[in-house]
Structure formats: structure tokens, C-alpha cells
Amino acid sequence: MQVLTNLVSNAWKYTPEGGKITVRAFQTNGRVRVEVIDTGLGISPEDQSKLFTQFFRSEAPQVREQTGWGLGLNVTKKLVEIMDGEIGFSSALNEGSVFWFSLPLA
Ligand SMILES: Nc1ncnc2c1ncn2[C@@H]1O[C@H](COP(=O)(O)OP(=O)(O)OP(=O)(O)O)[C@@H](O)[C@H]1O
Ligand SMILES: [Mg+2]
């Protein structure tokens, strides 16, 4: 629940009004994969390389308009890994982002 909340919170914070957020889930090979897709600000290649680092926040003005500590993704990655999961993303600046995680089925 914390993982999903963090990812949806980011999608909400970093998608300007009029954008779209999609959450979907699939079951494959004994795992569940959840995707949070947004049509928001997107993330530059330079920022992508630091994304899961503690306290990292983009310098982009539209990001800095929102409050945050730069902790959400760092904690999210640790939580996923504790549960034997995997986490990843793909993003293009000004186009949007997809964050996903997968977990073994209980
Ligand atoms: N969906 C997204 N779209 C665009 N940028 C994102 C998205 N998710 C994360 N980011 C970028 O990654 C940075 C780190 O995200 P993270 O969730 O760790 O911190 P935060 O949202 O700034 O603060 P908080 O600690 O409250 O979560 C963000 O500041 C932003 O620059
Ligand atoms: Mg966050």
C-alpha cells in the first residue's frame, strides 16, 4: 500500500492539470506487476540516473513548486526489495512517466 501510495502521489504531484494518470495491474509467471502511468512532466536522462537516491529532487521549476523531501522513491525501492520485488520506470521529458513494480504472488 505504501509503495502504491508513493507512486500515485508522485504521478499526482508531477502531472499538471488536464493530464491523465492510469493505474493497472497484470499477473504473469507467478508475479503481479503494477504500473502507474502519467502524462506529466517526465524526467530528463540526467535526472533519471539519480532518481532513487536519497533526497534527490529535480531542479525543474515545476517540480520545485511541489513540496517534498526526495525520500519517496528511495523508500519505495527499499520496500519493494524487502518484499523480493523489482521496480523500474521509463520516462521522457515533457511526455510522462511509467513507474512499475512487481512482486511474487502470495
Ligand atoms: N511521476 C513523476 N514525474 C516526474 N518526475 C518525477 C515523478 N516521480 C518522481 N519524479 C522526480 O523524482 C524526484 C524524487 O521523487 P521522490 O518521490 O523520491 O521525492 P519527492 O516527491 O520530491 O518528495 P517526497 O519525499 O515527498 O516523495 C522528484 O522530486 C521528481 O523530480
Ligand atoms: Mg514523492
User: Residues 27-76: pLDDT tens digits?
Assistant: 988 999 999 999 999 999 999 999 999 999 999 999 999 999 999 999 99
The confidence score (pLDDT) of residue 26 equals 96
Does the Cβ of 38 fall within 6 Å of ligand 1?
Answer: yes
Q: What is the CATH number of the domain that holds 53?
A: 3.30.565.10
Q: What is the mean pLDDT of the chain?
A: 97
* Closest listed ligand to the CA of 11: 1
The CA distance from 11 to 5, in Å, is 10
- pLDDT at residue 96 above 90? yes
The mean pLDDT of 66-87, rounded to a whole number, is 97
Print the domain residue range for 36: 2-104
For residue 106, name the pLDDT band (cuts at 50, 70, 90): confident
Residues in the chain: 106
Give, using CA atoms, the residue closest to atom 31 of ligand 1. Answer: 58
- pLDDT at residue 95 above 90? yes
At 55, which helix (H) or strand (E)? none
Task: Kindly give the distance from the C-alpha atom of residue 73 to the centroid of ligand 1, in angstroms, as a whole number.
Answer: 7
Number of domain units in the chain = 1
pTM: 0.97
Amino acid at 29: N
- Cβ atoms 97, 28 nearer than 8 A: no
